[in-house]
A and B are shown apart, each in its own frame.
Chain A
Amino acid sequence: MTARGFAVMAMICCMMASETAAAERLILSLSHHRVLVTSSFTGTEVVLFGSIERDQAASLPRRSYDVLVTVTGPRESERTRRKERVLGIWVNVESRTFVNVPNYLAAISNKPIDTIVNADLQRRLQIGLANTVLPQKTGPVVTDAPQEDPFRMAFLRLKKEHGLYIERDNGVTFFTPTLFRADIPLPSNVPFGLYDVDVKLFADGAVIAGSTSALEIIKVGFEQFVADAARDYGLLYGLVTAMLALLTGWFASVVFRRD
């Protein structure tokens, strides 16, 4: 594409954006921007409230809206391993490393995604778990495998089983045609870090507005202290644990002394 062509495209895009921005606007509010994970944490839900502001000047036709909320957790690399039978026992043989994939991913909408947008747009916008790019490392190459790739399917399935990849097509509730709430479930094993909350507003099968927010999940208190110590001060941590063990043993021998 020539530089001129690119400029024209950019202009059209800007115009389209400003046009849609003038029509509908999304205003978001999260019930919590920070979730503190303590020792008694057994999972929670963060509630997202959204309001669709309609430009009064532009006399818009009344239309029904659909909402898709995508929450993306911190990225990590994960290995999916497959067992095979070798000499009568089951052994991990093949494995694939998924590079920089979200450790947590939730796609929450008010109705099944297939009824909101067509499959083509879903793919282009990477909507839903099935369309998320999951780059795999096989040898030196990093590529996204097709949807029916067994390792990719196993990865998605296991993440869903662990409660870390979530697809809910009834997680968004409309109070009024322009006011909605979405429940973002956070399981007890929720990974720590920054989460991006991306909200897309659809009407008649097309994206008409979008907005983003963020939330942070922090491990606090004793657990965080222990996890940090184990990672950063391995030697000291080990020595303290070993001393604790010997002290416990000594203490028991004193308490239960029978002679």
Chain B
Amino acid sequence: MQIYLPIADLPVNVFLILAMGLAVGFISGMFGIGGGFLMTPLLIFIGVTPGVAVASVASHIAASSCSGAISYWRRKAIDLSLALMLLAGGVIGTAAGVWLFTTLRALDQLDLMIALSYLTLLSIVGALMVSESVRSIVRARAGKPVVLRRSGSHIWFHGLPFKFRFKRSMIYVSAIPVWVIGFLMGFIGAIMGIGGGFLLVPMLIYLLRVPTATVIGTSMVLTMVTMASATVMHSVTNHLVDVVLALILMVGGVIGAQFGARAGQKLTGEWLRLLLGLLVLMVGLRFAFQLALHPDDLYSLRIVEGTP
């Protein structure tokens, strides 16, 4: 069944979009991530312009992280004060990201920037995840016990001022790194159309020492609010959010996530991280090829808004 996407200006098959939503939702449920880093490239590959893809996926991630956040809230696995502190930086970061997005679009370099950001970020993160999980799998095979992180280890920024005690996470850290992390996530999310859960969770664990009990729920609250505000800001500045596209993706996404979550419970942590790492790496390499290979067509057209 063909429908016409009003903002993407593209006729698409509803079932194709729904299937993409389901597939990405399945993966996101399995790994406990938003899945934006898969959804945005998929949309670009089927012909949606990168700008519309990034802006529309923002609302899709808001939906999936909202349903996640609610179920973590019921289990009392969210540190609300930490989430609010992250959001203080996150909303400013989102605004900065949307501003850069608008500027690059006017300069005709938005598509390049999106591709480059995906390439760099996903290749590095994917490679790190793969090597880390392979090492722990090998270690587990050899029968050695998993090395627990040293609880007393200290990083330089733990000495910064504005210390706060986050009771539910049982940590006592400076607000500055919390703001910086929030800002970065909002900024990256607005430009790349990703919630950034796969980046945020390790950062919270390794840098801020947030315990695993509260880390995913808290990161989902941040993702939900930054992506909802990114949706509003992209609508106001660039008018690129396609609500029809977003709605189909959301419906597919939330359903797929339920099945993915069940499948994920059957795999151990290391294997999950290895699979996710490989997936992230593959998407990164796909962008590398796209940038490095001779394009099919050197020329492209774009309608200039407003009369010159």
Binding site for B on A (CB under 8 A): 37-42, 76-84, 88-92, 95, 97, 99-100, 103, 137, 151, 154-155, 157-159, 162, 188-189, 222-224, 226-227, 230-231, 234-235, 237-242, 244-246, 248-253, 256-257, 259
Q: Report whether A237 and B243 are in contact in the complex, using a CB–CB cutoff of 8 Å.
A: yes
Q: Report whether B236 and A42 are in contact in the complex, using a CB–CB cutoff of 8 Å.
A: no
B251 interfacial by beta-carbon distance below 8 Å: yes
User: B36 CB to closest chain A CB, in angstroms?
Assistant: 13
User: B65 contacts which chain A residues (CB < 8 A)?
Assistant: 249
Residue among B10, B63, B71, B233 making CB contact with A248, cutoff 8 Å: B63
Tell me the count of chain B residues lying within 8 A, CB to CB, of chain A.
Answer: 64
User: B247 contacts which chain A residues (CB < 8 A)?
Assistant: 244, 248
User: B39 CB to closest chain A CB, in angstroms?
Assistant: 13
User: A215 CB to closest chain B CB, in angstroms?
Assistant: 20
Which residues between 107 and 146 of chain B lie within 8 Å of chain A, taking CB atoms? 108-109, 111-112, 116
Q: Report whether A78 and B235 are in contact in the complex, using a CB–CB cutoff of 8 Å.
A: no
Chain B, interface SS category? helix
Some 16 contacts from A to B, beta carbons below 8 A apart, are A37-B4, A76-B303, A81-B301, A89-B292, A97-B304, A162-B301, A189-B10, A223-B244, A230-B7, A231-B239, A238-B235, A238-B241, A248-B66, A249-B250, A252-B63, A253-B67
* Complex interface: stretch among B88-96, B163-171, B224-232: B224-232
Do A245 and B62 form a contact, CB below 8 Å, given A235-B235, A250-B67?
yes
User: A250 contacts which chain B residues (CB < 8 A)?
Assistant: 66-67, 70
Q: Report whether B6 and A245 are in contact in the complex, using a CB–CB cutoff of 8 Å.
A: no
**CA separation between A253 and B75, bound complex, in Å?**
13
User: B299 contacts which chain A residues (CB < 8 A)?
Assistant: 80-83, 151, 154-155, 157-158
Q: Report whether A249 and B63 are in contact in the complex, using a CB–CB cutoff of 8 Å.
A: yes
User: A235 CB to closest chain B CB, in angstroms?
Assistant: 5
**CA separation between A154 and B299, bound complex, in Å?**
6
Do A226 and B243 form a contact, CB below 8 Å, given A78-B302, A252-B255, A253-B67?
yes
**Residue in A78, A84, A92, A226 whose Cβ sees the most chain B Cβ within 10 Å:** A92
Do A259 and B254 form a contact, CB below 8 Å, given A83-B298, A158-B299, A234-B236?
no
User: B18 CB to closest chain A CB, in angstroms?
Assistant: 14
User: B231 contacts which chain A residues (CB < 8 A)?
Assistant: 238, 241-242, 245
A79-B302, A253-B66 are known contacts; what are 13 more A-B pairs with Cβ within 8 Å? A39-B4, A80-B301, A83-B299, A103-B303, A189-B10, A224-B6, A226-B244, A234-B235, A242-B228, A242-B232, A245-B60, A252-B63, A256-B258
Q: Report whether B301 and A159 are in contact in the complex, using a CB–CB cutoff of 8 Å.
A: yes
